[in-house]
Structure 1
């Protein structure tokens, strides 16, 4: 499996890192050994809401070559949802099987038209911003509508990562990863349409 992580100026890095720290562990399991990823963006470096900088590995790739594309949230999504060039890039993910987001990353999937006939979620404080883009906003922690998976606010990124581990590597793999993370919590509010 090949994954694209989308980063941008104004990202909330916990949205990204919470998910990434779980997902990179897919290579431990026979079912998902050989998983690769790229950290993608439109510039060589991005800065989060607090000033932390991260280097981008791949600049503006054609996203159709990935199996899963993940978009985190952050205040930067508010401008990017109206940025035609950025959204055109996100639209190249059309053929990608799994479109995944946490927090306001769903606004970018929505602006690209991928939530039009789907149920989705986002950070609880901005359900109103997601409403114009999707069939229905579900006030829940994780919503899986077909192969589009959206998740709620920032800390949900860890639960979302574990959800993806379960999807691809199974329940035993989730148990292993939770022990590695010293993560004793069980996600509630998972809706599968």
Structure 2
């Protein structure tokens, strides 16, 4: 039995579905398999108010030594606009990212990765409305819903976080488990269809950077 540890890094004005969609997907690991998935909410403050008013209670403060299997970095207005909490999140990413097998960024969570220096020499994606802004920062954006480069998984806007999470599930516990989750949440795409949405950066691609 494998223990999968998934941490969600949240902050004020985070987009609700960027968090809840992936949280539901990873939580379903516990329902469809003997593998155990431990879910944690990391935040600068005890209670976080999201973009549309949903309040989320953290389970852990920002401890760079925690680590785990996957760190989910959601987006939203709070990922782009300056704030004390946002600065704390970026500082956390700078030191904590090495403690995770994968970093999964949803939507404009890529802007937090950028400020933490994690997008250097990396191909990525983000919400379509903000791709040009990320290009201006010198990053390579490709037209795929999900992009996997090294240990970074980035995806486009909001709902694509579900696709990226199902892809991550296929990596850590297998495509058969991801397919069971697809069926359990009645998702309209099969795992094979989701895999077709993913662009994995190969060694040849890396040499072109």
TM-score, L = length of structure 1: 0.90
* CA drift at 1:132: 4.9
| Residue 156 of structure 1, aligned match among 157, 160, 170 | 160
Matched, 1:94 2:97: yes
Q: Take 2:181 and 2:162, find their aligned partners in 1: how far apart are those partners?
A: 11
Q: Per-residue displacement from partner, 1:95-136 (whole Å, max 9, x unpaired)?
A: 122111110011111110011111000000000232255641
Matched, 1:191 2:194: no
Q: 2:113: which partner in 1? A: 109
| Residue 52 of structure 1, aligned match among 51, 54, 64 | 54
Give RMSD over aligned pairs. Answer: 2.0
* CA drift at 1:161: 1.5
5+ residue gaps, structure 1, are: none
Matched, 1:36 2:72: no
Question: Superposed, which structure 2 residues align to 1:5-154 within 5 Å?
Answer: 5-27=8-30, 28-30=32-34, 33-62=35-64, 65-80=67-82, 83-95=86-98, 96-132=100-136, 135-154=139-158
- Which secondary structure does the structure 2 equivalent of 1:5 belong to? strand
Question: 1:131–1:117: structure 2 CA closer, same or farther, 3 Å change rule?
Answer: same
Q: 2:206: which partner in 1? A: none
* CA drift at 1:64: 5.3
Q: Take 1:110 and 1:81, find their aligned partners in 2: how far apart are those partners?
A: 16
Indicate if the aligned counterparts of 1:127 and 1:137 stay in contact, CA closer than 8 A: yes
Q: Take 2:153 and 2:61, find their aligned partners in 1: how far apart are those partners?
A: 24
TM-score, L = length of structure 2: 0.84
Q: Per-residue displacement from partner, 1:126-178 (whole Å, max 9, x unpaired)?
A: 00232255641112100000111001101111111110111112221122111
- Which secondary structure does the structure 1 equivalent of 2:96 belong to? coil
5+ residue gaps, structure 2, are: 202-209
Q: How many residues are paired up? A: 191
- Which secondary structure does the structure 2 equivalent of 1:184 belong to? coil
- Which secondary structure does the structure 2 equivalent of 1:139 belong to? coil
Q: Take 2:130 and 2:65, find their aligned partners in 1: how far apart are those partners?
A: 27
Q: 1:174: which partner in 2? A: 178
Worse-matched range after superposition: 2-11 or 74-83: 74-83
* CA drift at 1:65: 2.3
